[in-house]
């Protein structure tokens, strides 16, 4: 009797139900250990328990982290995912992908060796001094503790960097030089007005001085490495093999990069054909006096340039975005696309000054650990622009593309996805959300709105929507060709300018971004294509039984899980 009871009890303790075992092994305790290894990422999600700790990125830390990943993977594979309920099963898959991905970065991809911009302490210090999550003194003490490891941090960086990529070396020089600003005048004022004791203050100041020296030394070291290496630098192109592996691990769509690339090429041709038709249709209205060029792409560009003249006055930009949001919300509801939460309308506001200058609009969501749970659609006012800059900006975000932008960032794009994601109470989903799912949904939501007749099916609206969507398609082509096919700068600029109708500034910026990242530029089209394909297949399978609204709501109910995982959950085999 007793022996039997003991067996039963130990069975219970090991997790009588797989769901209980999963919740026990991968709950808040697990995340706490994860953050203890990743103290920078912890600060960025608003988990401040380890704010005073900076992990020194040396060989010992990499060994410790690898052991942590291996132990976590072992625990995870002890649980049979098929026996978990839907919520835990998604979390299980997200963690599995995450551990595999991080393991591969650490052991195969090894950016810690060839990407010197991997080493930069600025972000966490900036967030700790700018975010009033606690009284200034408490934050300054955390900063002081974190500062004590900065010299060791950069010593480890110098030891790790071997044969780096020149583009990343130069980026690291720029960014680390900028990092010194974090301890500039505002920080000094914060220290001066704080109630730190004289001893604390002196210690903090000497640590700031030591950190400044360490950062400056790292910059000097990188300049020397760059000069010594000369032309013998590691290529920024990662090659087909690594690209496919990275694509599989980062994107998790269940299809190969080569397949997506082929698809993007076909999509580009299709878009050119559609856009040429629309340009032909619009030519008499906008270009009547001008002879139509024989080159179809030139004709498209001419019409796009003309239509872009329809834009609001600079002081009307933010108000007109504000006025658009309730219209988008009503449309989504009236056309049965999704259920919106009427108690949570999207708040549009002027972008706070410290965020300006990077992008013209963003969706700012509260971090997973932020109790305020407030989100905003930030739109940059054009105050800082010269008349010329404002004009070029307003032409880019004209009456038509401004609508696509608000669909993408707001309703039914990022904001709605986030609203649904927040309803699933899983920290794992909030913390380890998949980038291709998030961006793919936003790109898909643009198409969904156009299909439902948004913009009265006006040819101008479709043409501008296609230009916008073509950017996502060409991002994929560019990224793939840069990393696996030795695309030259001239080839890249030609693709973006002539075939995607982009401005010089936009094209040059994109070429730079393609050399400083791999796979990220493919997330937009990849996520979109996976969602769109999946929807079309379900439509075919379910025929008259297919319900668009139900599809959208069910898809979003899995949070930001990888599309491949959501597909499996929505069509159990
Ligand atoms: Zn104008
Ligand atoms: Zn986006």
- In tens, the pLDDT along 428-463 reads 887 888 999 999 999 999 999 999 999 999 999 999
- Mean pLDDT across the chain: 91
Parse the chain into domains and list their residue ranges. 117-229, 251-570
Q: How far is the CA of 16 from the centre of ligand 2 (A)?
A: 42
The ligand minimizing its distance to the Cα of 409 is 2
The ligand minimizing its distance to the Cα of 397 is 1
Q: How confident is the model at residue 2 (pLDDT cuts 50, 70, 90)?
A: very low
Of 59, 215, 200, the closest CA to residue 150 belongs to 215
372 pLDDT above the threshold of 70? no
Of 417, 441, 442, 443, the closest CA to residue 429 belongs to 417
Q: How far is the CA of 395 from the centre of ligand 1 (A)?
A: 6
11 pLDDT above the threshold of 50? no
Q: How far is the CA of 444 from the centre of ligand 2 (A)?
A: 11
What pLDDT sits at residue 47? 92
Proportion of the chain above pLDDT 70, given as a percent: 94
Q: How far is the CA of 305 from the centre of ligand 1 (A)?
A: 11
Say how far apart CA 279 and CA 277 lie, in whole Å. Answer: 5
Q: How far is the CA of 470 from the centre of ligand 2 (A)?
A: 14
Exposed, middle or buried by CB within 10 Å (0-12, 13-18, 19+), for 432? Answer: buried
What pLDDT sits at residue 4? 41
What pLDDT sits at residue 294? 94
The answer to whether 431 touches 45, Cβ cutoff 8 Å, is: yes
The ligand minimizing its distance to the Cα of 312 is 1
* 13-33 per-position pLDDT tens digit: 454 689 999 999 999 999 999
Count of other CB atoms within 10 angstroms of residue 128: 21
* 458-498 per-position pLDDT tens digit: 999 999 999 999 999 999 999 999 999 999 999 999 999 99
Mean pLDDT across 91-103: 94
Mean pLDDT across 351-355: 72
What pLDDT sits at residue 215? 96
Q: Which residues neighbour ligand 2 (ion) by CB within 5 Å?
A: 439, 442
The ligand minimizing its distance to the Cα of 438 is 2
Say how far apart CA 89 and CA 82 lie, in whole Å. Answer: 7
Q: How far is the CA of 408 from the centre of ligand 2 (A)?
A: 6
């Amino acid at each position: 009797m007793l022996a039997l009871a003991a067996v039963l009890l130990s069975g219970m303790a090991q997790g009588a139900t797989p769901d209980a075992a999963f919740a026990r092994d991968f709950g808040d305790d697990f995340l706490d250990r994860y953050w203890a290894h990743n103290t920078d990422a912890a600060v960025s999600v608003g988990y401040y328990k380890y704010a005073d700790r900076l992990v020194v990125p040396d060989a010992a830390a990499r060994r410790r982290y690898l052991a942590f990943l291996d132990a976590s993977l072992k625990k995870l594979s002890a649980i049979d995912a098929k026996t978990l309920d839907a919520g835990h099963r998604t979390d299980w898959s997200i963690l599995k992908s995450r551990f595999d991905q991080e393991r591969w970065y650490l052991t195969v991809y090894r950016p810690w060796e060839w990407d010197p911009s991997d080493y930069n302490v600025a972000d966490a210090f900036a967030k700790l001094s700018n975010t009033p999550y606690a009284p200034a003194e408490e934050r300054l003490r955390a900063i002081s503790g974190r500062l004590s490891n900065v010299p060791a941090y950069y010593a480890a960086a110098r030891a790790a960097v071997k044969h780096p990529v020149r583009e990343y070396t130069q980026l690291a020089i720029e960014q680390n030089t900028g990092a010194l600003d974090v301890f500039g005048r505002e920080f000094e004022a914060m220290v001066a007005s704080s109630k730190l004791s004289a001893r604390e203050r002196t210690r903090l100041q000497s640590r700031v001085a030591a950190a400044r020296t360490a950062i400056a030394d790292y910059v000097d070291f990188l300049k020397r490495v760059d000069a010594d290496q000369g032309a013998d630098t590691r290529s920024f192109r990662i090659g087909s093999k690594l690209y496919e592996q990275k694509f599989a691990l980062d994107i998790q769509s269940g299809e190969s990069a080569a397949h997506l690339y082929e698809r993007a090429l076909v999509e580009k041709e299709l878009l050119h054909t559609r856009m040429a038709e629309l340009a032909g249709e619009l030519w008499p209205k906008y270009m009547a006096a001008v002879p139509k060029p024989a080159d179809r792409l030139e004709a498209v560009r001419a019409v796009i340039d003309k239509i872009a003249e329809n834009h609001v006055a600079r002081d009307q930009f933010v108000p007109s975005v504000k006025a658009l949001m309730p219209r988008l919300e009503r449309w989504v509801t009236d056309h049965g696309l999704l259920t919106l939460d009427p108690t949570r309308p999207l708040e549009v506001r002027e972008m706070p000054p410290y965020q300006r200058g990077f992008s013209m609009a963003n969706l700012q969501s509260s971090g997973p650990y932020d109790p305020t749970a407030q989100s905003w659609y930030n739109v940059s006012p054009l105050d800082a622009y010269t008349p010329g800059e404002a004009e070029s900006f307003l032409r880019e975000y004209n009456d038509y593309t401004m609508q696509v932008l608000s669909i993408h960032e707001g309703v039914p794009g990022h904001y709605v996805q986030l609203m649904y994601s927040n309803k699933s109470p899983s920290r794992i989903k909030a913390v380890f959300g998949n980038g291709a799912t998030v961006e793919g949904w936003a790109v898909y939501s643009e198409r969904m709105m156009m299909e439902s007749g948004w913009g009265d099916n006006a040819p101008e609206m479709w043409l501008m929507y296609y230009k916008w969507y073509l950017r996502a398609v060409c991002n994929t082509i560019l990224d793939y060709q840069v990393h696996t096919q030795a695309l030259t700068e001239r080839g890249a600029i030609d693709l973006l300018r002539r075939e995607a109708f982009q401005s010089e500034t936009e094209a040059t910026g994109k070429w730079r971004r393609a050399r400083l990242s791999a796979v990220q530029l493919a997330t937009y089209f990849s996520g979109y294509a996976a969602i769109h394909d999946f929807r079309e297949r379900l439509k075919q399978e379910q025929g008259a039984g297919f319900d668009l609204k139900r599809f959208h709501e069910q898809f979003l109910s899995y949070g930001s899980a990888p599309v491949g995982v959501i597909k499996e959950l929505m069509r159990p085999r």
